[in-house]
A = this chain, B = another copy of it.
Amino acid sequence: MTDTVTLSLADLTARVETIFRRAGMNAAQTRALTSVIVAGERDACKSHGIYRIEGALRTVKAGKVNPLAEPVLDAGEGTAIVRVDAKGGFANPAFELGLPVLAARARELGLAALVINDCTHFSALWPEVEAVTAQGLSAMVMCPSYATVAPTGGNKPLLGTNPFAFGWPRADAPPYVFDFATSVAARGEIELHRRAGKPLPEGWAIDADGNPTTDPEAALEGAMLPFGGHKGAAIGTMIELLAAIMIGDLTSPEVLDYLGTTTLAPFHGELILAFDPARFAAGRPGNPLARAEVLFEAIVGQGARLPSQRRFAARKISESQGVTLTAAEIAGLDRLTAQGLDAVA
């Protein structure tokens, strides 16, 4: 007897797709959402794996995401801005629809933006980053979140944990990819400390009066802090400006007002920039992809890690050996398959 079950990625994909289809999601939403959830599980990034299925279903059940949405493309011919209206569905199928047009435009102009509007953003930004790098392009991606982070010197939640992500294509290796919250910690990490009855590390949060706290309860009633002090707060603010206000979508405080909770997936927009290194480097000495390898070797050569290295190592194993889930996780999938939206609050 074993307490674990190993599934191939294809089998896991089929299981997750079944859950979403039975819960009433259309083919476009199901396929794209399943893809990022399986990618999370594949990369041993458990916080973005099957654990997220319930959150997606809760958001559908709450009526805060449209499970039948068909995203609509506005190619923005003659401009550097490609838009996809997600029509209130998840961001993922909207991104898939826009990606080929974004890539073509970036190759044509050297630089282009994909704006996704009216979407429920789900999971990490690295799936988008990796998809752009797979086109031989560099990517910068950002989106807001819910207001849970106080600006440095302030005392109230205002900014989101606003992730900032970037990727650079590599010929013979997985891409260079980073994707991080602009808060010190993710909100989920504070919740985990609360459940475990453990104090928070210093510098993660302030209480409702704006004083530093290591008490998770007080932190959840107060605010999280940006990473790197005023510099992280500035980047978080930049993301509100570019990836919410500039693209005509909700800011983090507006998202929280709209949802009234941080337990549903956030509704807002997303900004993806794509750069064509071949166009930017044209006429200049050196091949940019080859020169980047020199930089990466210098980083790794002094004992530092490239971001996402751990994820890519896990991926390699999962692709040949499948992913191993606990009996409890399998039971969870069974329950969600059988009960659909009735399984979630």
A14 at the interface (CB under 8 A from B): no
A338 at the interface (CB under 8 A from B): no
Residues of B within 8 A of A186 (CB): none
Residues of B within 8 A of A284 (CB): 117, 247-249
Residues of B within 8 A of A238 (CB): 140, 166, 168, 178
Q: Report the Cα distance A282→B246, complex, angstroms.
A: 9
Check A155–B275 contact: CB distance below 8 A: no
Residues of B within 8 A of A199 (CB): none
Interface window among A46-54, A91-99, A104-112, A321-329 = A104-112
A152 at the interface (CB under 8 A from B): yes
Binary interface encoding of chain A residues 232-252 relative to chain B, with 1 for a CB under 8 A from any of its CBs, else 0: 111101101110011111010
Check B80–A156 contact: CB distance below 8 A: no
| Cβ < 8 Å to B, chain A residues 288-304 | 288, 291-292, 295, 298-299, 302-304
Check B304–A153 contact: CB distance below 8 A: yes
The chain A residues found within 8 Å of chain B, CB to CB, are: 76, 78-81, 108-113, 115, 117, 138, 140, 150-156, 158, 164, 166, 168, 176, 178, 180, 182, 210, 227-235, 237-238, 240-242, 245-249, 251, 253, 273, 275, 277, 279-286, 288, 291-292, 295, 298-299, 302-305, 307
